[in-house]
Structure 1
Amino acid sequence: MNGTLLFAGALSGLAGLLHLGCIYFGASWYRFFGAGENMAVLAEQGSLKPSLITLGIFCVLSVWAVYAFSGASLLPRLPLVKSVLIIISFIYAIRGLVGFFLMFAPMGRSPEFWLYSSIVCCVFAMVHIIGLRQRWEALS
């Protein structure tokens, strides 16, 4: 079992659970995690939009966690596990890097949101890349 990909899966899983927390706890969590005032206000008004968007993100992060766990050999091997882990790593890396530029045009978010979330995404990308490199031959 690969500890690095296991950790990568746990990171994606935790991120997914935090998104569920936003749905459950509402506007205060949307604000705390920097989702933007618009999302917080919509949540306060009872709109389904923030919950549906956040649920979609939770689903994506959950699939990513399952793929990392599969790559770590915690779960049975999933189809295209190596390719999917490469794509997940790439998406985390691109999201992390682009966020640093969005600090200067925050689009309804704070510059701090972009900074911290970009650091988190870059760390997630690095953990995935390291785990993928460790398991490269085994996943071929």
Structure 2
Amino acid sequence: MSTSGSLVLVIGALLSAFAAIAHLVCIFIGAPAYRFLGAGERMARGAEAGKLKPTIITAMIAIILLIWSIYALSGAGIIESLPFTKWVLVAISAVFLGRALAFPILKPIFPENTMTFWLVSSGICLFVGSLYLYGVILQWYML
């Protein structure tokens, strides 16, 4: 296994974990955090009203990001190998990259999200997805 691939996957894992923590912090701060992060007024108002939907959506995203972080650490060899690690990491890369590139299609579905939200979150997804894919390539295909 490649040392460079491990390093790239660890960086991807750290960024995914950071994003997960940011989502959890958003739940605890509430509406101001949803607004600051550009998640849309509907999410912010729902959080202000004490509705569960914003919390559930945000918590699910955080859980998924944490699982992805764990898989990246597995792929890097930092923790024990998880089932189908290589293929899961390829799928994670595809989801991140797909999310980054699909924002023009997603934007009309979520019109309350700000352009800043779309550009920043899509840029982050593009960067992190590229890290995961590059890490997989270095780890398993560039021996």
TM-score (norm 2): 0.90
CA RMSD of aligned residues (A): 1.7
Counterpart residue number, 1:66: 70
1:97 corresponds to 2:104: no
2:19 is matched by which residue type in structure 1? Answer: A
2:49 is matched by which residue type in structure 1? Answer: Q
Instruction: Give the 3-state SS of the residue equivalent to 1:135 in structure 2.
Output: helix
Counterpart residue number, 1:31: 35
Counterpart residue number, 2:91: 87
The 1-side partners of 2:123 and 2:27 are apart by 23
Change (3 A) 1:50 1:105: closer
The 2-side partners of 1:49 and 1:108 are apart by 16
Deviation at 1:115, TM superposition (A): 1.1
Count of aligned pairs between the two proteins: 138
1:69 is matched by which residue type in structure 2? Answer: L
> 8 Å contact 1:35–1:109 — kept in the other structure?
yes
Instruction: Give the 3-state SS of the residue equivalent to 2:140 in structure 1.
Output: coil
Counterpart residue number, 2:113: 109
The 1-side partners of 2:98 and 2:35 are apart by 24
The 1-side partners of 2:84 and 2:12 are apart by 17
> 8 Å contact 1:8–1:65 — kept in the other structure?
yes
Q: Quote the sequence identity (%).
A: 38
Deviation string for 1:33-70 (max 9, x for gaps)? Answer: 11110010011111111111111111100100000000
> 8 Å contact 1:100–1:115 — kept in the other structure?
no
Q: Which has the higher contact order (CA 8 A, sep 6+)?
A: 2
5+ long unaligned stretches in structure 1 = none
TM-score (norm 1): 0.92
Higher helix proportion, which one?
2
5+ long unaligned stretches in structure 2 = none
